[in-house]
């Protein structure tokens, strides 16, 4: 069981399990327009993993990112604390810049709202991230 801690570290096996869930989720993406499939998986404090994939729409503004699908699934299940999130951009070239694999701005704002303390992992990247790394001076309402 993972306990809440400011210095929380996930074991290598927990991290790999979460990244693998994101990679598998990407296979379920609906991306006929961009052909850029993305999967995400969030680990809740309960130990449950919730998955999501990007779902596109011909009206691009109505598309939904994998990260938001996974976060929404966790919220609907009643999870109050998200420990970690993994993202997998399975169609990104192996040598793609990191910026092509990280959550978009809208997903970063969702993370600020729903998982501000989560560890963020990107498939194929050795390092992990925290939200202040990706969204410094994030907008929030007190």
Q: For residue 17, give both structure tokens.
A: 């399990």
What structural domains does the chain harbor?
12-133 (3.40.140.10)
For residues 28 and 31, give the distance between their C-alpha atoms in angstroms, rounded to a whole number.
Answer: 9
| Other residues' Cβ atoms within 10 Å of the Cβ of residue 138 | 14
| 18 within 8 A of 48, measured Cβ to Cβ | no
Catalytic residue among 67, 79, 113, 125: 67
Q: How far is residue 134's CA from residue 107's CA, in Å, rounded to a whole number?
A: 10
Question: Is 67 annotated as catalytic?
Answer: yes
Q: What pLDDT sits at residue 55?
A: 98
CA distance 13 to 112: 26
> Could you say which DSSP state residue 78 is in?
T
Q: What is the pLDDT along the chain (142 residues), one digit of tens a residue?
A: 233 434 467 899 999 999 999 999 999 999 999 999 999 999 999 999 999 999 999 999 999 999 999 999 999 999 999 999 999 999 999 899 999 999 999 999 999 999 999 999 999 999 999 999 999 999 998 7
Q: 128 vs 12, 54, 56, 73, CA distance in Å? A: 12, 22, 27, 23
What is the spatial distance between Cα 50 and Cα 34, in angstroms, rounded to a whole number? 24
CA distances from 38 to 2, 88, 100 (A): 26, 6, 11
């Amino acid at each position: 069981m993972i306990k809440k801690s400011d210095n929380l570290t996930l074991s290598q096996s927990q991290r790999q399990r979460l990244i693998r869930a994101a990679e598998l989720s990407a296979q379920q993406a609906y991306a006929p327009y961009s052909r850029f499939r993305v999967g995400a998986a969030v680990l809740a404090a309960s130990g449950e993993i919730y998955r999501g994939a990007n779902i596109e729409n011909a009206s691009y503004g109505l598309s939904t990112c994998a990260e938001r699908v996974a976060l929404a699934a966790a919220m609907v299940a009643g999870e109050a604390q998200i420990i970690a999130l993994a993202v997998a951009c399975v169609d990104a070239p192996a040598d793609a810049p990191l910026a092509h694999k990280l959550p978009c701005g809208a997903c970063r704002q969702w993370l600020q709202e729903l998982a501000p303390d989560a560890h963020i992992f990107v498939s194929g990247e050795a390092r992990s991230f925290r939200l202040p790394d990706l969204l410094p001076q994030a907008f929030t309402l007190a």
